[in-house]
Amino acid sequence: MTAYRKKLKEIYDREAKTYDLTREIFEKGHFAFRERKLIAENLPKGSKVLIVGCGTGRHSKFLINSLKCEIVNVDLSPEMLKIARAKARAKGEYIVATAEELPFRNEVFDAIICSRAFYLFEDKSRFLRRAYSCLKEKGLVLVSTFSKGLRITKLLIAARLLSPDPQSYPYNASELAYMLSQAGFDRIETRCIVLYTNGISKFLPKFILALISRLEDHLLDGRWVMAIGRKAKDTK
């Protein structure tokens, strides 16, 4: 394990017990609703799914109970995995590993999900190539992450109404899609998850949230974006 990954492991081992308290909007709020909606629209029920950078298991119960998936959870933090295991009542597998060195045979999974962890990976291209190898033919990769692609997002950051979190993050939806294509994925599409992430959804009337969600349904980029790629059909 590299020095960077060791440091990351130490950080998330320390944060594990308080992690959910500071990130409730990603598990129970508008973001969680939107992300799970996109997952459900693309992922067939009963799929065998690998969750990379699973953290405290934000999506595990949803995938198990609602989509009847068989899940394998990977994270570099043993302490985060302990919480994830408890949330899902130990259903599924829980493995300590890095995204770049996924310890699986080729063509094992129907889908690989990476939610909100991609920007942390030391070698993002290596992860995508490894994910491609681990997927069955026509398998899906779903990556959700930060984006600064929208002009309004850039303006809000400049006005300090949104955090640039993280400051050096360079990607937008089209660049993320390009990274997937370089790893071999095709039929790539991008979808807006949400236009904002500052927790204001709990203060907005339901009809306003409905209008925002309808707008988000038609956007290809946002404050958070999901890129969906498919493993190319074997033509041999």
| Strands of the 135-146 sheet, one edge to the other | 93-96, 70-75, 48-52, 109-115, 135-146, 224-231, 185-194
Range of the domain at 99: 3-231
Cβ density class 74-111: b for 16+ within 10 Å, e for less? bbbbebbbbbbbebbeeebebeeebbbebebeeebbbb
Q: Is 149 within a domain?
A: yes
pLDDT digits (tens, 9 = 90+) for 17-58: 999 888 877 888 788 889 999 999 999 999 999 999 999 998
pLDDT > 70? residue 167: no
Nearest to 163 by CA among 214, 125, 199, 112: 199
pLDDT for the residue 111: 98
Domain count, the chain: 1
Q: Is 94 within a domain?
A: yes
pLDDT for the residue 71: 96
SS3 helix, strand, coil % of the chain, rounded to 5?
45, 20, 35
Q: Is 52 within a domain?
A: yes
CATH code (residue 11): 3.40.50.150
Q: Is 119 within a domain?
A: yes
pLDDT for the residue 93: 95
Nearest to 88 by CA among 104, 72, 76: 72
Q: Is 58 within a domain?
A: yes
Helix spans in the chain (H):
3-22, 30-42, 60-61, 78-87, 124-134, 151-158, 173-182, 206-217
CB atoms within 10 A of CB 34: 24
> CA torsion sign, 9 to 162 to 169 to 58?
positive
Q: Is 205 within a domain?
A: yes
pLDDT digits (tens, 9 = 90+) for 51-97: 999 999 988 889 999 999 999 999 999 999 999 999 888 789 999 99
Q: Which DSSP string do the residues of 178-211 spell out, in sequence order?
A: HHHHHTTEEEEEEEEEES--SSGGGGS-HHHHHH
Q: Is 155 within a domain?
A: yes
- φ/ψ of 170, rounded to 5, equals -100, -5
Q: Is 236 within a domain?
A: no
pLDDT > 70? residue 211: yes
Report which residue type is found at 6: K
Tokens representing 147 are: 């984006």
Burial of 161 (0-12, 13-18, 19+ CB in 10 A): exposed
pLDDT > 70? residue 170: no
